[in-house]
Amino acid sequence: MKQVLEFEKPIINLKEKIEELKKITQDSEMDLSQEIQTLEDRLKLLEDDIYGNLQPWDKVLIARHQERPTTLDYIGEIFDDFIEFHGDRLYGDDSAIVAGLAWYKGKPVTIVGHQRGKDTKDNIHRNFGMPHPEGYRKALRHMKQADKFGRPIICFIDTKGAYPGKAAEERGQSEAIARNLMEMSGLRVPIICIVIGEGGSGGALALGVGDRLLMLENSTYSVISPEGAAAVLWKDSSKAQQAAESMKITAGDLKKLGIVDGIIPELKGGAHRDAKKQAERIDTAIERTLGELSNLNGQELLDQRWDKYKQIGSYRDAQLIGD
Amino acid sequence: MLKDFFGKKKKYATIPGEDQKLEVPEGLMMKCDGCYKIFYRKEMKKQLFVCPNCGHHHPLRAWVRIESLFDTDSFQEWDKELRSGNPLDFPDYEAKVEKDMKKTGLNEAIVTGKGTIEGHPTAFAVMDSRFRMASMGSVVGEKIARAIERAKEEGIPFIIFCASGGARMQEGVLSLMQMTKTSMAIKRLSDSGGLMISVMTHPTTGGVSASFASLGDYNFAEPGALIGFAGRRIIEQTIREKLPKDFQTSEFLFKHGQLDKVINRHDMKKTISLLLAFHAKDGAKA
């Protein structure tokens, strides 16, 4: 049984009706093709209406869809000969983050990304895509290697957040995230970060410092989950829907705020409709973005990175505006 | 009966309103948060708000901290006039900020500037947890980034006293991006050979602990400070077990190798000026 999202129910209902009519036509002499045609036209309109006007909360649901393609799904479609490498050389190997090498259009690239599970068993193995410090340290180890050998880095972001656990705190979750932010700032190779699902706070950001930040159309990126925001701000986690709107967490909102550089369009209904086709769109975006960055040398990359981030923020100088 | 006159117990607890809670009058006396003993406020201030009885470190106001470290009259404030915007048009955000401005006499949750500590010129930032729990919004991020850039330009060290509840929710992802901005600034300072010292005070959590607070060449903490990434309650819910009492304290972090040293407030100036001397350009013992 496929997961049906709340806002999709009218579409599903209509589809079922059409199927019913088709069956009747098949099983009996009655010709209902006229009616079927009418309903199919209506279905198209309804789909355009619903998928064309997705609300922030609808996007949250799509971003969390259990069949939404993961980092490894996209890696398999977009890159050649991916080989995964493990371990942070300090403590262990975190399967909530994958990292390795592959060919992209005939050139080597380093890939790192959060990895969610596909089902419950897999999710337990992947810790629901919520990394421990060793995950971030593994990622950094590979990114520094990319810097050393002069190959671009592609980061796939897809996590609810860094894992809030006892062991994670003991091993320095804060330090691991902070270190990635600092070190990624100084890597002299192109870094492209792509939010493919949920971009949850510092745990997402720790793979998210780069030259370009792209988001899939229905992905989200936020300082706290809508449920968490509702709990903190209004002491009521059931107001998550409202929080999803207020917090400005969709790709479109973040583009307006100047944080996201580009939005990768999704298939109608979401990326999970066809991982292969969605991967083609991501591929196109990576190719174009790498092209833009390929002419810049290491120092130029660093300068542009700083130029971008130093401008992010909203403040006013009371002295200048005289209030 | 007679005892009704005396023994009348309240059947319910009264919770002071928001305003009452915030406007605790500056009394003559204060109660230690650690041992609950009562002291003259003046006496506490002389002790830099470290309890003479139990050693509990109370939060310090930004300017008291500056006074406790810098040579007299040497401190010049930077970017004093920077104020918060309301980028997400969050309801009530401006009012909350204004209320804290009135309460603290500060324009934001951080004071930055430059002065000398035992003669060593130093760029400095100190957060004040009375202001929106010193959560990191755009102004906090911007002031830190600017202070670090000036430290780099002038070739002087940068010291920050951290205290923060984490991200400023009302600024959403802009708040998150201040983590990147400040960390990138530190990278630039570090690459130029600049010294950065971070001192974590109570509390240093969330996005602040996961960015500049953890990125000093030396990371220190005051005793008994709460320091951590995720909140205790969230962790307890996630792992379904009770956490030890000292979890996420300075001492806990020290034990797990996350800090260079836990420094008593009374030794802070001495330790920091020694460190500044070690890193001074001429580098010789005075």
* Contact (CB, 8 A) for A179 and A164: no
Q: Which residues of A touch B83 (CB under 8 A)?
A: 315-318
To the nearest whole angstrom, how far is the Cα of A255 from the nearest Cα of chain B?
A: 12
Query: Under an 8 A CB cutoff, do B209 and A313 touch?
Result: no
Is B181–A182 a contact, with Cβ atoms under 8 angstroms apart?
no
State the smallest CA–CA distance between residue B230 and chain A in angstroms. 5
Q: Is A248 on the interface with B (CB under 8 A)?
A: yes
Q: Let me know the angle formed at the C-alpha of B114 by B228 and B208, rounded to the nearest 5 degrees.
A: 15
Q: Residue A322: what pLDDT?
A: 46
Nearest residue of chain B to residue A172 (CA atoms): B258
CA atoms within 13 A on the CB side of A152: 26
Residues of A with Cβ-Cβ distance to B85 under 8 angstroms: 314-316
Are B230 and A166 inside 8 Å of each other by CB? no
Please state the φ and ψ torsions of residue A91, each to the nearest 5 degrees. -140, -55
**A202 vs B175: CB contact, 8 Å cut-off?**
no
Question: Are B142 and A248 a contacting pair at CB < 8 A?
Answer: no
CA distance A233 to chain B (A): 8
- Tell me the chain A residues in contact with residue B81 when contact means C-beta distances shorter than 8 Å: 317-320
Contact call for B238 and A163, based on CB within 8 A: yes
**Alpha carbon of A16: minimum distance to chain B alpha carbons (Å):** 40
A244 CB within 8 Å of a chain B CB:
no
Report the predicted TM-score, pTM, of the whole model to 2 decimal places. 0.92
On chain A, the residues whose CB falls within 8 A of the CB of B169 are 223-224, 229, 232-233, 247
Partners of A226 in the β-ladder:
none
- Number of H helices and number of E strands within chain A? 15, 9
C-alpha–C-alpha distance, residues A245 and A60, integer Å:
10
Q: Which of B106, B149, B183 to mutate to test the interface with A (most CBs of A within 10 A)?
A: B183
Whole-number Cα distances in Å, A277 to A69, A198, A267, A281? 11, 20, 8, 7
Q: Which of A164, A183, A306 sits opposite B235 (nearest CB)?
A: A164
**Using CA atoms, how far apart are residues B184 and A178, in angstroms rounded to an integer?**
10
Nearest-neighbour CA in chain A from B131: distance (Å) = 16
Pairing of strands B158-164, B196-205: parallel
Tens-place pLDDT, residues A114-139: 999 999 999 999 999 999 999 999 99
Which residues of chain A lie closer than 8 angstroms to B107, CB-CB? 318
What DSSP string describes A245-310? HHTT-BHHHHHHTT--SEEEPPPTT-GGG-HHHHHHHHHHHHHHHHHHHHT--HHHHHHHHHHHHH
A183–B173 C-beta distance less than 8 A: no
Which residue in A190, A307, A291, A322 sits closest to A258, CA to CA?
A: A307
Residues 97-136 of B with CB under 8 A from A: 107
Per-residue pLDDT of chain B (286 residues; tens, 9 = 90+): 555 555 555 566 665 555 444 444 567 899 999 999 999 999 999 999 999 999 999 999 999 999 999 999 999 999 999 999 999 998 899 999 999 999 999 999 999 999 999 999 999 999 999 999 999 999 999 999 999 999 999 999 999 999 999 999 999 999 999 999 999 999 999 999 999 999 999 999 999 999 999 999 999 999 999 999 998 888 988 888 889 999 999 999 999 999 999 999 999 999 999 999 999 977 667 6
Q: Does A181 touch chain B (CB under 8 A)?
A: yes
In this complex, the residue of B85, B229, B238 whose CB is nearest that of residue A314 is B85
Residue count of chain A: 323
Using an 8 Å Cβ cutoff, are B214 and B198 in contact? yes
Chain A hits for B247, CB-CB cut-off 8 Å, are 166, 169
Yes or no, beta carbons of B231 and A170 under 8 Å apart: no
Which positions in chain B touch A303 (Cβ < 8 Å)? none
Q: Do B176 and A178 touch (CB under 8 A)?
A: no
Q: CB distance from A165 to chain B under 8 Å?
A: yes
Contact B180 A205 (CB under 8 A): yes
Nearest neighbour of B183 by CB, restricted to A173, A185, A313: A185
User: Which chain A residues are closer than 8 Å to B191 by Cβ?
Assistant: 186
> Closest partner residue to B173 among A254, A317, A320, by Cβ?
A254
The token pair that represents A77 in the structure block: 């479609």
Pairwise CA distance, residues A159 & A166, whole Å: 19
The neighbour count for residue A117, using CB atoms within 10 Å, is 18
Name the token pair of B159: 């010291």
Please report, in tens digits, the pLDDT of each residue of chain A (323 residues total): 578 888 989 999 899 889 888 888 888 877 788 888 888 899 999 988 998 889 999 999 999 999 999 999 999 999 999 999 999 999 999 999 999 999 999 999 999 999 999 999 999 999 999 999 999 999 999 999 999 999 999 999 999 999 999 999 999 999 999 999 999 999 999 999 999 999 999 999 999 999 999 999 999 999 998 988 888 888 887 889 999 999 999 999 999 999 999 999 999 999 999 999 999 999 999 999 999 999 999 999 999 999 999 999 989 887 665 44
Contact of B216 with chain A, judged by CB distance below 8 Å, is answered with: no
Task: Provide, as residue numbers in chain B, all residues whose Cβ is less than 8 Å from the Cβ of A232.
Answer: 169
The per-residue pLDDT for B257 is: 96
Q: Which residue of A128, A175, A207, A304 is the best one to mutate when testing the B interface, meaning the one whose CB has the most B CBs within 10 A?
A: A175
Please report residues of B whose CB lies closer than 8 A to that of A318. Answer: 81-83, 107
**Which residue in A has a C-alpha nearest to residue B256's C-alpha?**
A170
Burial degree of B101 (CB within 10 A; 0-12, 13-18, 19+): middle
